[in-house]
Amino acid sequence: MATRHFLTLLDLTPAELHSVIHRAIEMKAELRENRAGEPMKNKVLGMIFEKSSTRTRVSFEAGAAQMGGHAIFLSSKDTQLGRGEPIEDSARVISRMTDIVMIRTFGHDVVERFAQYSQVPVINALTDDYHPCQLLADMQTFQEHRGSIQGKSVAWVGDGNNMCQSYINAARQWDFELRIATPEGFEPNAELIEANKDRIVLCSTAQEAVKKTDLVVTDTWASMGQEEEKQVREAAFAHFQVNETLMSEANSDALFMHCLPAYRGMEISETMLDAPHSVVWDEAENRLHAQKALMEFLLEH
């Protein structure tokens, strides 16, 4: 049986994604009620980080421990990866000693190449192009607060980055409309838009995008690796802030999400994270439950 990986949301079928979310909600209750099992007993998770992280590291490491497994944090700075050992060689070695691996890196080709040479499931924990684990948490959070997202309307406001591109894949897999507003020159990948044009509405203003939507999502204007472009981006994105005035254009029960870390006064107003629409803290917590369900799924398949 071929090893299953999770490099983008398209690696699981819609039915499989639904079952992972269902299981995540179940595992959250099991943890709360102190009746969780240990589906990772004696299993080892390798965690390769070439970029910074708070949520992803804590959720994977805590998740593995809660499931009876063990996690090894591997920073590229301290491993031979940082000294130029090829990713293919690293994959062959690390996957002989672990049961599952997650990678956070720059180029998406790095996770693809690792997966190609890995004997064990590989999870994309963020690349420049996609952040599928975050979408599992976002979809779980919507489900918990509002029920099924199928047929709903979602607004993406800001950069056409890895999160936006993952929302495009989510729109396909969960069957919702995605209204995208980015400044000119910061749109998501053109081929990805073309392949999903039946689900996407490209808007020229943030106001147009959020109108009558059920969920509004944004992210930092300068992702990891784009620190040098910060000033240019702040100027380009000035009209793309999500604040309470913009949220008032969405449906009255619309939710607000942000993968975090957030920059108050930039992509969001000072008060947006704590506004009544905001579910960002549940969203952050759900990284833990959703990834536990994902690891359980991948270890079983």
Residues making contact with ligand CP (CB under 6 A):
53-56, 126, 134, 259-260
Q: Indicate which of ligand CP, ligand NVA, none lies near residue 162 (CB less than 5 to 8 Å, by partner kind).
A: ligand NVA
Provide, rounded to whole angstroms, the least separation between the CB of residue 57 and ligand CP: 6
Concerning whether 131 is annotated as a catalytic residue, the answer is: yes
Q: Indicate which of ligand CP, ligand NVA, none lies near residue 54 (CB less than 5 to 8 Å, by partner kind).
A: ligand CP
Concerning whether 104 is annotated as a catalytic residue, the answer is: yes
Provide, rounded to whole angstroms, the least separation between the CB of residue 284 and ligand CP: 7
CA separation for the pair 299, 293 (Å, rounded):
10
Q: Write phi, then psi, for 148 (nearest 5 degrees).
A: -60, 140
Is 271 flagged in the annotation as binding? Answer: no
Q: Which of 5, 57, 131, 258 is catalytic?
A: 131
What is the distance of C-alpha 181 from the center of its chain? 19
The residue at minimum Cβ distance from ligand NVA is 223
Long-range contacts of 86-93 (CB under 8 A, 24+ apart): 87/113, 87/114, 87/117, 88/113, 88/114, 88/116, 88/117, 89/117, 90/48, 90/114, 91/115, 91/116, 91/117, 91/118, 91/122, 92/117, 92/118, 92/119
Measured from the CB atom, the residue of 54 and 116 that comes closer to ligand NVA is 54
Six-digit token pair at 77?
């700075």
Cα distances (Å, whole numbers) of residue 79 to 50, 73, 90, 172: 10, 10, 10, 37
Q: Which of 179, 199, 277, 287 is catalytic?
A: 287
Concerning whether 287 is annotated as a catalytic residue, the answer is: yes
Q: Which residues bind ligand NVA (CB under 6 A)?
A: 126, 161-163, 219-220, 223-224, 259
* Structure letter (DSSP) for residue 199: T
Provide, rounded to whole angstroms, the least separation between the CB of residue 259 and ligand NVA: 5
Instruction: Report whether 145 contacts 282 (CB < 8 A).
Output: yes
Map residue 165 onto helix, strand or coil. helix
Provide, rounded to whole angstroms, the least separation between the CB of residue 126 and ligand CP: 6
Concerning whether 164 is annotated as a catalytic residue, the answer is: no
Q: Which of 5, 128, 233, 259 is catalytic?
A: 259
Is 53 flagged in the annotation as binding? Answer: yes
CA separation for the pair 50, 238 (Å, rounded):
30
Instruction: State the alpha helices, DSSP H only, in 147-262.
Output: 162-174, 190-195, 206-210, 230-236, 244-247
The radius of gyration of the chain from alpha carbons, rounded to an integer in Å, stands at 19
- Helix (H) and strand (E) counts in the chain: 11, 9
Measured from the CB atom, the residue of 101 and 203 that comes closer to ligand CP is 101
CA separation for the pair 131, 128 (Å, rounded):
8
Is 56 flagged in the annotation as binding? Answer: yes
Is 164 flagged in the annotation as binding? Answer: no
Q: Which of 219, 241, 277, 291 is catalytic?
A: 219
Is 34 flagged in the annotation as binding? Answer: no
Is 35 flagged in the annotation as binding? Answer: no
Provide, rounded to whole angstroms, the least separation between the CB of residue 225 and ligand NVA: 7
Is 47 flagged in the annotation as binding? Answer: no
Measured from the CB atom, the residue of 171 and 257 that comes closer to ligand CP is 257
Instruction: Report whether 36 contacts 155 (CB < 8 A).
Output: no
Binding-site positions read 53-56, 80, 104, 131-134, 162, 219, 223-224, 259-260, 287
Binding-site positions for carbamoyl phosphate read 53-56, 80, 104, 131-134, 259-260, 287
Catalytic residue annotation: 104, 131, 134, 219, 259, 287
